[in-house]
Chain A
Amino acid sequence: MRFAVAVFPGSNCDVDAYRALHDVLGRDVEYLWHRETDLSGFDGVILPGGFSYGDYLRPGAIARFAPLMEAVVRFAGRGGMVLGICNGFQLLTEAGLLPGALLRNRDLIFLCDTVPVRVENVDTVFTRCCQAGQVLRLPIAHGDGNYAVDAATLAVMEQRGQVILRYCAPDGTVDEQHNPNGSVANIAGIINGQGNVAGMMPHPERAAAELLGGTDGVFILQSMVQELERRQHEASRC
């Protein structure tokens, strides 16, 4: 099982993602520079947080055209698992792999905090290690995390369980008071219709060890690992 952590000029959570998967979960991980075009031999891709290409024009707008992203789109099309975190989430919406867009935070403030988020759907390959309704404490660090999507698309996403994480109160109550950035329906993380591409503004890789202040992020990363193990096991039986 090999993970690729994408590195764009301006990525700044690539090392965190590498360490979480390699040091904490003991998996093979490689950095892939944005000019790379080949994802063969990789089973999962992490698009990390940061400010790819300086966030010029819009977050993710330029990174979307990086050679590596063409490979990521093909990889996702074949059912490969892709997790976009923060800037990676913005990038996935710009690339059209996830619906909606991420606007400037409601209060125009760069948020750097640790917040509770409720797991809304545990029947996904990114959340299967979580309990239904579990509240995770995860770090956020973003200026553009205000998720927006048109009402019709949102209705379909809700119906299909594509909203996987919502900002909430410490007890799990979802309300406007506990919506740090103005996201529609308190959305903190979503998954695509096929279920193999997810994006989230909170940082699971920054909550992967007690030394970092928490381990709740491991639930997300471990879910990916479990799914890839399952796939490997199935492949070996064929």
Chain B
Amino acid sequence: MKARVLISPKKGIADPQGTAVEQALHTLGFTGVRAVRVGKVIDLELPEGDHTAALAELTRMSEQLLANTVVEAYSCTILDEGA
């Protein structure tokens, strides 16, 4: 099964990339844009099986390696087949 882990800077943590992207969007005329945060997408495949168990495994992966939980938040999703 396919899965996706989204990683983003925690609330309150400075995000220099997000700030730079926001300023660039303003320069392009998208003046209403606020609160830009730049994160990461990690796509991966797991053996077919129970979704709950897979999500628990993804959480362990995120806590141990994929996210630095001092400064990053993460969310894990199982992608629907064919998505």
Interface residues of A (CB under 8 A from B): 57-58, 61, 65, 93-94, 99-101, 103-108, 146, 148-150, 182
A184 CB, min distance to chain B CBs, angstroms? 9
The number of A-B residue pairs with CB atoms under 8 Å apart is 37
A61 adjacent to B65 (CB under 8 Å): yes
- Closest CB of chain B to A199's CB: distance in Å? 14
Contact residues in A for B15 (Cβ distance below 8 Å): 103
Q: Are B70 and A103 in contact (CB under 8 A)?
A: no
Quick check: A106 and B14 within 8 Å, CB to CB?
yes
With CB as the reference atom, state the residue of chain A lying closest to B71.
A101
User: B13 in the interface, Cβ–Cβ < 8 Å?
Assistant: yes
* Interface range, B side: 10 to 19
Chain B positions within 8 Å of A182 at CB level:
14, 16
Query: How far does the Cβ of A89 sit from chain B's closest Cβ, in whole Å?
Result: 14
- CB distance B66 to A57 under 8 Å? yes
Q: How far is the CA of A182 from the CA of B13 in the complex (A)?
A: 12
How far is B12's CA from A149's CA once the two chains are assembled, in angstroms?
11
Complexed CA–CA distance, A150 and B16 (Å): 17
> B8 in the interface, Cβ–Cβ < 8 Å?
no
- Nearest chain B residue, comparing its CB with the CB of A104: B16
* B68 at the binding interface (Cβ < 8 Å): yes
Q: Output the least CB separation between B83 and chain A (Å).
A: 24
B31 in the interface, Cβ–Cβ < 8 Å? no
**C-alpha spacing A107/B71, complex, angstroms:** 18
How far apart are the CA atoms of A65 and B17 in the complex, in Å?
Answer: 27
Question: Any chain A CB within 8 A of the CB of B79?
Answer: no
Bound-state CA distance A182–B20 (Å) is 14
User: What would be 13 A-B contacts, judged by CB atoms less than 8 Å apart?
Assistant: A61-B68, A65-B65, A94-B68, A101-B71, A103-B16, A104-B16, A105-B16, A106-B16, A108-B17, A108-B20, A146-B16, A182-B14, A182-B16
Instruction: Determine whether the beta carbon of A93 is less than 8 Å from that of B16.
Output: no
- Whether the pair A148, B71 counts as a contact (CB closer than 8 A) is yes
Kindly report which residue of chain A lies nearest to residue B38, judged by CB atoms.
A104
- New contact pairs (18) apart from A104-B16, A148-B71, CB-CB < 8 Å: A57-B66, A58-B68, A61-B68, A65-B65, A99-B70, A101-B70, A103-B15, A104-B17, A105-B16, A106-B16, A108-B16, A108-B20, A146-B14, A148-B13, A148-B14, A148-B70, A149-B70, A182-B16
